Structure 1
Amino acid sequence: MHSQKDLHQTGETVAESGHYFDKDGEHIALKQGDTFPNCPKTNQPTSWRHENHEHRTGDEVTETGLYVDQDGEKVELTNGDKFPNCPKTNQSTTWKHVQ
């Protein structure tokens, strides 16, 4: 099962500057030392993940959005889905959130 160590919650301090996505796919740029905000769309507490985080086939999707695998194949996934095999090869792969 996928580790939740890369998930950050509203109110936590940002340790690494960069672009982050929340569980609803909202995108925001944060700097080290900032505080993770509520979801910009819903104004509710949420979880955040750095855009460069990789997911593996079978992991649970924690942010709705467009993802690209290591072969460049793109898929639209929804929070709660499972990351699929590569659409081209049907083999396990890694996925990244598309900006």
Structure 2
Amino acid sequence: MKHDVTGILLHSDQGFQYTSRLYHQLLKKNQTKQSMSRKGNCWDNACMESFFSHFKSECFNLYSFRTAADVKFAVQKYIRFYNHQRFQKKLNNLSPYEYRTQVI
């Protein structure tokens, strides 16, 4: 089975904010396809839930932001840190980048 993987795909759970008419209009306006986890299946979203849990506790909840630019900068900085410096036990204490680029 071949899947169309062009464009932007946004994955979420089935929370009320993601099923609202206004949200769907926003996605359509921004030419974004929506993907939802199956009802009652938390494992569909486990990797993102884990990432956002770390993001909130290690970055977002530690600071008070004054502008949208401050938030954007913090998000970009944290994602770079997460991918290149933050070691993960499940990846043999390597960062995701180190794990993906190690020689087999």
TM-score, structure 2 length as denominator? 0.21
Q: Of the two structures, which has the highest relative contact order with CA contacts closer than 8 Å and spacing of 6 or more?
A: 1
Larger strand percent:
1
- Select the structure of larger CA radius of gyration: 2
Larger helix percent:
2
TM-score, structure 1 length as denominator? 0.21
